[in-house]
A and B are shown apart, each in its own frame.
Chain A
């Protein structure tokens, strides 16, 4: 019993080397997942340093350069206003990074709070919470997004808040499941019988043990958020123009010019697909390595 109790604390000092070992395993056992991780990092880098990397401004209009096909000067061509699509894609990455990480982070926190509390307390409380989650989950994400945005108006902050809340409630199921299985575990009951406070149990014993699903949840949510946001922007309900969101670049006024400049239809879509694909395979690899029991869940 004492050995089991020491476990969360004992593993702490060697975390650095454990991370290195884990990265090694990722590259050896899941090459595709590792490739995903690399793409993901490149995307993150592009997003963080878009201002430095982009050769032009995202709204730098240049009438003489309208609808130029891809060239060395304009890597991905230009749009109907003569704006450099490559630069816009880079700034789009920036927005995606911000929205992706903030909303996925918020979603994870919401999931953890609801999941851990509901799973730990159990009983009637858990039942009521689960009915509420049921009700919430029967609304398609995109429709909730559309409705809420229609009420509060579009913008970066509402989208992050709504997406975070939305996906957070859905994801709480997974954390709840993990919490229940940890709670059933012997050492929590042992700590409980030793009179540790609920708060202490939650933070010292439950939380460290549901860390694997939490990390996995976060990674897969990033891709999900980016996809959802781009859908919303595509419908014209995302971050309003001229902000260069990938979804927005595929819709709106640019759409009418795609027949003359098909590259306009390609570049943002490819960026989206690439990044979401990378987060998916990275998330899958993490799941397989960290928590094989979660295989098949999504």
Chain B
């Protein structure tokens, strides 16, 4: 298992190299000369610094490939450079924000599963009934509803009707867990609902597939009732492919978090990125960009590895 994990990590290296190239190219190359843009488009963001200082800060006085390797070398040592604006190390900022987005994403995934699994299973068990059609239409509809619209409506309508508005002040979990969860719940619910649409469909399809299997017939032949068959014999097998979906959904969760964090004023990675974009703080943008990509890769790796917990057939070779 450890050898397998190591091998998977090694296999990740080429992907990581490509990812770093993408980040580097997107942030540094596209505008041609970042400095010109910074000085001309938005002089406030350049702060008090003049052109030379900026060039040095960004390392732009070097040839491109040197820039890349210097940046990569720094990143490998955990040095993402300094924020142009706040003069704090980018890594510190990211590390402060990462757990917040992680909490939001985790809550959203859990809520998504809690909604999707029972509904998907029921939908499969009652295949082609009115309830099944209703739940399926609902899930296609949920795919189409943009979460920022739901978020907007949640801010507007409850406060018009009942004078209630979701809390918008972030409280760290360590300080007051209840207040923290109270703040996170609404955004996590909105995010979780949009995730559950896909999971629900997948759950239904997998459940239908599993229910047709021979071993389910064996279970019936033993005299088990429907509940035990579903819970003990079908669910585990149907959940295995649904687990991979969590890995596939990771980018969706993080992308969705950006918007949700903005609406509900949650100081996570998304808000950090948006603030950095507003200030054209390129080291921060690059840092967040890279960390998000690496996080998605690691989540996928973890999901793959945890597969063995659910599927006894998986051998780590």
Q: Which residue of B lies closest to A264 (CB)?
A: B156
A276 close to B144 (CB less than 8 A)? yes
Tell me the bound Cα distance from A17 to B258 in angstroms.
48
> Taking beta carbons and an 8 Å cutoff, which residues of B are in contact with A?
14-19, 21-22, 26-27, 30-31, 34, 37, 41, 137, 140-141, 143-146, 148-149, 152-153, 155-157, 159-160, 198, 201-202, 205, 251-252, 254-256, 258-259, 262, 273-274, 276-277, 280, 285, 288-289, 292-294, 296-297, 300
Of the candidates A259, A268, A281, A298, the one whose C-beta lies within 8 Å of that of B156 is A259
Determine the distance from Cα of A26 to Cα of B198 in the docked complex, in whole angstroms: 24
Q: Do the beta carbons of B146 and A140 come within 8 Å of each other?
A: no
Given that A142-B258, A277-B141 are known contacts, is A234 also in contact with B148, CB under 8 Å in the complex?
Answer: yes
Q: Is B152 a contact of A269 with CB atoms below 8 Å? A: yes
Judging by beta carbons under 8 Å apart, are A139 and B296 in contact? yes
Check A142/B140 contact, CB under 8 A, given A272-B149, A273-B145, A298-B198.
no
Contacts of A247 in B (CB 8 A): 146, 148
> Chain B nearest CB: distance from A76 CB in Å?
15
B144, A280: Cβ atoms closer than 8 Å:
yes
Q: Given the interface contacts A135-B293, A146-B274, does A273 sit within 8 Å of B149 by beta carbon?
A: yes
| A200 CA / B205 CA spacing, docked (Å) | 40
Of A62-70, A102-110, A112-120, A223-231, the stretch lying at the interface with chain B is A223-231
- With A144-B26, A152-B30: A135-B19 Cβ-Cβ less than 8 Å: yes
SS class, residues of chain A in contact with chain B: helix
Closest chain B residue, CB of each to CB of A227: B146
Q: Does A138 sit at the interface, judged by CB under 8 A? A: yes
Q: Is the CB of A131 within 8 A of B30?
A: no
Chain A residues with CB under 8 Å of chain B are: 32, 131-132, 134-144, 146-153, 223, 227, 230-231, 234-235, 237, 247, 250-251, 255, 258-259, 262, 265-266, 268-269, 272-274, 276-277, 280-281, 284, 296, 298
Interface contact B297-A138, CB-CB below 8 Å: yes
